[in-house]
Amino acid sequence: MRWPDWLQRLVTAAEQIGVGELSARAVTEGVRGRESAVLLLFGEAEAGKPDVLLIERAHTLRSHAGQPAFPGGGVEPGDGGPVAAALREAAEETGLDPSGVDVLAVLPKLWLPPSSHLVTPVLAWWRAPTPVYAADPGEVASVHRVRLDDLVDPDNRLVVRHPSGYAGPAFAVNGLVVWGFTAGILSAVLDAAGMSRPWDRSRVEPVPQDTRTAAMSEAAPQAHDRGAPRS
């Protein structure tokens, strides 16, 4: 199957993007931490209308409650690596069928020092989409297919500032404010693919009160309860 042109641009960008464009936290020799993975799953709910799969974390969780995120979690011994872990976690969280997902690129591993996680973002094409929902209500409040057109709409872009001093890109879409780790990766990949549009970087707002965390830094958002990087 021939990929859509927009997807080819994303894949090319992912293959060329450097750690410094994704995060200031490169994984250096000797760094140890919990191996984790997140799934950047792109598809088309409607022909010619690309989107990305995001979850909203359950509002009852002890930390990072209500934060939008990529599906993902810790790499388990039976996974064999981050790709399988990302697919397994996505299936557990959203009910998607991994057989309809084609993995296209693996982005550089990122180090999140406060939680000691080594996070591998996995970029994939949703070749055969299946219905998705909050398959694990204890972890996931809602599941969203967010259009890339909405992500790059200048009216939906802003900078959020956390009381800790963190400031970074964010997206106000689908009734959610996507920020932190998730927004940083989306922003970097869309920029590298030449898909972003000019937006007002002077629009600065506080992180939504109900998604704040106790400890936050620009390059190292926290991990979620089971070991997956969130926010």
Reduce the secondary structure of the chain to three states and give it as a string.
Answer: CCCCHHHHHHHHHHHHCCHHHHCCCECCCCCCCEEEEEEEEEEEEECCEEEEEEEEECCCCCCCCCCEECCEEECCCCCCCHHHHHHHHHHHHHCCCHHHEEEEEECCCEEECCCCEEEEEEEEEECCCCCCCCCCCCCEEEEEEEEHHHHHCHHHEEEEECCCCCEEEEEEECCEEECHHHHHHHHHHHHHCCCCCCCCCCCEEECCHHHCCCCCCCCCCCECCCCCECC
Q: What radius of gyration, in Å, describes the C-alpha atoms of the chain?
A: 16
Helix axes of 5-16 and 180-192: crossing angle, nearest 10 degrees? 110
**pLDDT one-digit tens code per residue, 89-142:** 999 999 999 999 999 999 988 877 656 778 899 999 999 999 999 999 988 999
pLDDT of residue 155: 98
Complete domains list, the chain, with CATH: 5-147 (3.90.79.10)
The upper half-sphere exposure of residue 68, i.e. CA atoms within 13 Å in the direction of its Cβ, equals 26
Asked if 140 and 94 count as a contact pair (C-beta separation under 8 A), the reply is: yes
pLDDT of residue 118: 86
Closest CA to 161 of 141, 183, 140: 183
pLDDT of residue 85: 98
pLDDT of residue 216: 41
pLDDT of residue 66: 78
> In this structure, what token pair is assigned to residue 191?
């920029």
pLDDT of residue 3: 86
pLDDT of residue 124: 98
Residue 156 to residues 147, 170, 189, 214: CA-CA distances in angstroms?
A: 12, 8, 17, 26
pLDDT of residue 131: 96
Instruction: State which residues of the chain have pLDDT below 50.
Output: 24, 213-228, 230-231
Asked if 39 and 90 count as a contact pair (C-beta separation under 8 A), the reply is: yes
For residues 51 and 38, give the distance between their C-alpha atoms in angstroms, rounded to a whole number.
16
pLDDT of residue 211: 60
